[in-house]
A and B are shown apart, each in its own frame.
Chain A
């Protein structure tokens, strides 16, 4: 690279209620401005184009996750040491322990559990006719599977969704949502610490695996606690968001639903397409460890970098007609909604399994989704609906 440009500025706050409801106009403006854009309201460089997002994710030696994931110091300090917020060798070590039981191979025994649960849930809701696609469908499946799988004891489960939501809110800039969330993240951490201290996770679960690794001397108490949070925090809201968005999208695009019903082998591709178009996680941060550049734009050492998966996934430089929902999109697999590279989502096998099981069960009987007025849930990190009222018409 011969010339290094300075970053263009963008002054709007991209975390206001309005911006969280309608983020895509801002993202397009950021993409049009350049490969890295200085967000003056948030003291960070936004990376919004597909190629540059992929470059940052593929260069973890330069763009670090420790002290980098959140846009504010207190949250970065709170998550320091979990898989999500660690780098290099330490990350590889933790990742092996975390990912080990989440690989598609390890999940095989879960396939039947998830499929049966999805079938039963869908049969029940179809019989009811009208329901809330978020509360009754999107939340119900992960909540009936994931806490057991992770091994969270019954006591405390009532807080899971609130804590997980707070965890994601806390990664934003220090706005009112972040400030309200931080104390709740503390509650979740205290709970995780207690699990590690006193045991009480269900036998045979992921959590039990973490405690075994601790007992075997592979990881410390402190690390075990952070790994509990790695499982707890990102495993619910993300999947819930994707399922809520899927129903909303299929309600608005009945021809896509017809296509999926006619070609159920498209379900895995449709899952990728939903995550592309309505990426559940808008973006995570990184910390530039050295002077560097992104697409020819200078980014000095110590800068915060905001990696916008949700924008990369609608980049017209990469995806043809990116705002269109197309279950048969040939390159949907290239979407970055699960991240990419070293930190690429460890739980994507489980998430895809859950979402695909629900869509498959619905496709068998539901002819049409009649969607009423949905309500947005506002979170700094997660794009989701609070409710999507729906009436289903069965065959």
Chain B
């Protein structure tokens, strides 16, 4: 699972950071930093990341379900 952030829509309310500080952070200028941009979240952070997407007040975070990496 991944989270897609819409940076145009993000207004820096910071609620994602409160919920999942390991995944999202606001830098000193108040800009959103997404530590797992473009890649799958480790299993241990999935719930927190989902919670963060749910509490973004402007719905700037979208959960994208990806199939688990194929085992070879």
Q: How far is the CB of A201 from chain B (nearest CB, A)?
A: 23
Chain B residues near A78: list those with CB within 8 A: none
Interface residue tally on B, bucketed by range:
10 to 19
Which residues of B from 25 to 39 have beta carbons under 8 Å from A?
29-31
Q: Is A342 an interface residue (CB 8 A)?
A: yes
Partner of A333, one of B11, B18, B58: B18
Give per-residue flags for B29-64: 1 if the beta carbon is below 8 A from chain A beta carbons, else 0.
111000000000000000000000011011100000
Chain A residues near B18: list those with CB within 8 A: 333
CB pair A342 B57 closer than 8 Å: no
For the A-B complex, the count of residue pairs with Cβ-Cβ distances under 8 Å equals: 40
- B29, closest chain A residue (CB): A105
- A348, closest chain B residue (CB): B57
Chain A residues near B58: list those with CB within 8 A: 341-342, 344
Q: How far is the CB of B18 from chain A (nearest CB, A)?
A: 7
Given A103-B30, A333-B19; A345-B57 close (CB under 8 Å): yes
CB pair B12 A103 closer than 8 Å: yes
Partner of B55, one of A105, A333, A339, A342: A333
Chain A residues near B30: list those with CB within 8 A: 103-105, 108
Give per-residue flags for A48-67: 1 if the beta carbon is below 8 A from chain B beta carbons, else 0.
00000000001000000000
- A60, closest chain B residue (CB): B59
CB pair A340 B57 closer than 8 Å: yes
- A338, closest chain B residue (CB): B57
Give the number of chain A interface residues (Cβ < 8 Å): 19
Q: How far is the CB of B9 from chain A (nearest CB, A)?
A: 8
Chain A residues near B31: list those with CB within 8 A: 105
Chain A residues near B55: list those with CB within 8 A: 333-334
Bound CA span A349–B15, Å = 11
Bound CA span A391–B5, Å = 48
CB pair A104 B14 closer than 8 Å: yes
Bound CA span A339–B11, Å = 15
CB pair A344 B59 closer than 8 Å: yes
CB pair A348 B13 closer than 8 Å: yes
Q: Which residues of A contact B (CB under 8 A)?
A: 58, 99, 102-105, 108, 333-334, 338-342, 344-346, 348-349
Q: A104-B13, A333-B19 are in contact. List 15 more A-B contacts (CB 8 A).
A: A58-B59, A99-B11, A102-B11, A103-B12, A103-B30, A104-B30, A108-B30, A333-B18, A334-B55, A341-B59, A342-B59, A344-B59, A346-B11, A348-B57, A349-B11
12 A-B pairs (CB sep. < 8 Å) = A102-B11, A103-B11, A103-B12, A104-B12, A104-B30, A105-B29, A333-B15, A333-B18, A334-B55, A338-B57, A342-B59, A349-B11
